[in-house]
Structure 1
Amino acid sequence: MAQTQPALHTIPPEPSRSADDVYVAIKEALADGQYGAGQYLREEQLAKSLGVSRTPVREALRRLDAEGWVETRANFGVRVKAWTVQDAREIFEARLLIEPYLAGRAAPAIGASDIARLKALAEAMLDITRRPSTSESCEAWFTANGEFHAIITAAANNARLDRSLKSMKETPLIKWTFDTYSDEDRERSARQHVEIVLALEQRNAAWAEAITRCHILAAEKAVLDRHDREHSAS
C-alpha cells in the first residue's frame, strides 16, 4: 500500500505592489530624509529593494519629478532635489495665501468633535515643550502638528485648496522646519495652537485667520534664520 506523502507547505508570496504603492514608498523615504540632497536614485536598486520591476519605479520617479521632489538630468539620471532658500520662500508664500484663508472658513463650520480633538493635540504639543527635546519628542510634535492643521483645513470644505496645501506640506522642507525650532520656538508655536483653537471655538473667522498667519510667519522666520546662520558659517 502506497504511503501518503505529507502535504507540502509553501510560503504564500507577498502581494505585489501597485505603481501607487511604489510611488508612496519612495515619496515617504524622501520625506523621511533617507536619501540625501543631490543623491542619485537608481531604478535598478530601487526596484530590487521594493521587490518590483523597474517599470513602476520609473513611473514613480516621473511623478516625483513633476512634483519637485527629484530632478532628472539628461545622461546622468534622477537625483534628490536640493532645497534652496528660494524654495522655502515660495512654499511659505503659498501657505500664507491658502492656510489662513482655510482657517477662517473653518471657524463657522468646524464640529464639536474636531474642536475637542484640536484641544487634545494642542495640549499634547504644550506638554512636549515642557520636556527636554529628543528625536522622539520632535517626531511626536511633527505628527501631532500635522494632524492639528489637517483637521482645520479639512473643516474648511474646499478639497482643492486642501489638496494643494497638503502637497506643499509633504515636502522634506516642512519636517526640516521642526528640526530648526529652538525650545523657545516650540513653546511659542504651542501657545499659538492653543489660540487657534480658541478662535475656532469662538467661531471668530478673522481671529483664526490672523493667528494662523502669524503662526506661519514665525515658522518661516525660524527656517530663514537657520539658513542665514549656516550660510554665514560656510
Structure 2
Amino acid sequence: MHTTSPEPARSADDVYLAIKEALAGGQYGAGQYLREEQLARSLGVSRTPVREALRRLDAEGWVETRPNYGVRVKAWTLQDAREIFEARLLVEPYLTGRAALGIGASDIAHLKTLADAMFALTQHPSTPESCEAWFAANGEFHAIITAAANNARLDRSLKSMKETPLIKWTFDTYSDADRERSARQHFEIVMALEQRNVAWAEAITRCHILAAEKAVLDRYDREHAASA
C-alpha cells in the first residue's frame, strides 16, 4: 500500500511570498480587505504566520492596516507613482553605470538574447500572453544589470520598488509603439554596457525610466478625464 506523504509545513517566509505573489498578480483588488482566517485556511497554515506576513507587507506598502477595520490592499495613487519613479531615477541609472564598469561577457550575451526576444514581441499585435512574456523578459533584463553593479543593498532596494503592482500596471499601460520604443532602448543600454560607457549607460537608463513614467501619467490623466 502506498501512502501519500503530507506536504511540508509552510514557513513564515513561504506565507509572506505566497500572499505577495497574489497581490503582485492582481488576485486581490485595490481596497479589498484581507482576512487572516480566510488566508490561513487557503494556505493551510495557522493565523500567526499570516499575521506576520501582513505586517511585513504593510511595512513595504503593499497593504494598509486600518484600526478597527482590518488590513486592505493598498490603492496606488498618482503620488505613489511619482514617488516610485523619482526613487528609480535616483538609483537605477547609477547602478547601470556601475554595471558598465564590470559586467561580464556572458551577461552581455544574455542581455542581447533578452533584448532580441522583447523586440520580436513588438513585431506582432499585443496579447495578454505576449505582455506576460515581455514583463518576464524585461524583469530579467534589468535584474542582470543591477546585480552586475555589485551593490547588494541598492539592488535590494530597487527590487522592492519594482515588485509593486504599479510596475505591472505600467506594462499593461504600454501601447505597441511604447513597447517598440522600450525594446530599442534595451538595445542601446546593451551597447552602452558593452562599450563600458558609464555616462551613456546612465543617460539611456534615465530616458528609459522617464518614458515609462510618461506612459503611466498619461494613462492616469486619460482615465480620470473620462470619469470626470
Same fold, TM exceeding 0.5?
yes
Percent sequence identity over matched residues? 87
Which residue number in structure 2 is paired with residue 122 of structure 1?
115
- In 1, distance between residues paired with 2:195 and 2:214? 29
Structure 1 match to 2:49: 56
Structure 1 residue aligned with 2:14: 21
- Structure with higher Rg: it is 1
Deviation per CA, 1:119-161, whole angstroms, max 9, x where unpaired? 0000000000001100000000000000000000000011000
Q: Deviations over 1:48-74 (max 9, x none)?
A: 100000100000000000100000001
* Corresponding residue of 1:210: 203
**2:64 alignment partner, SS class:** strand
For residues 125 and 207 of structure 1, the distance between their equivalents in structure 2, rounded to whole angstroms, comes to: 21
Given residue 73 of structure 1, which amino acid in structure 2 is its aligned partner?
R
Q: Distance in 1 between matches of 2:88 and 2:60?
A: 16
CA distance in 2, matches of 1:223, 1:81: 18
In 2, the alpha carbon distance for the partners of 1:107 and 1:53 equals 47
The aligned residue for residue 4 of structure 1 is: none
The unaligned stretches of length 5 or more in structure 1 are 1-7
Q: Does 1:231 align with 2:224?
A: yes
Greater shift after overlay, 99-108 or 8-17?
A: 8-17
Task: For structure 2, list consecutive stretches of 5 or more residues without a partner in the other structure.
Answer: none
Structure 2 residue 103 is the aligned partner of structure 1 residue 99 = no
The amino acid across from 1:77 in the alignment is: G
Distance 1:14 1:108 in 2: 46
Q: Give, as a single letter, the amino acid of the residue that structure 1 aligns with 2:20.
A: K
Equivalence for 1:190: 183
Q: CA RMSD in A?
A: 0.6
Shift of 1:10: 2.6
Task: Write out aligned runs for 1:125-144 (5 A).
Answer: 125-144=118-137
Deviation sequence 1:14-64 (CA, Å, 0-9, x none): 110000000000000000000000000000100010000010000000000
TM-score by length of 1: 0.96
Give the CA deviation at 1:9: 3.5
CA distance in 1, matches of 2:89, 2:117: 25
Q: Match of 2:71? A: 78
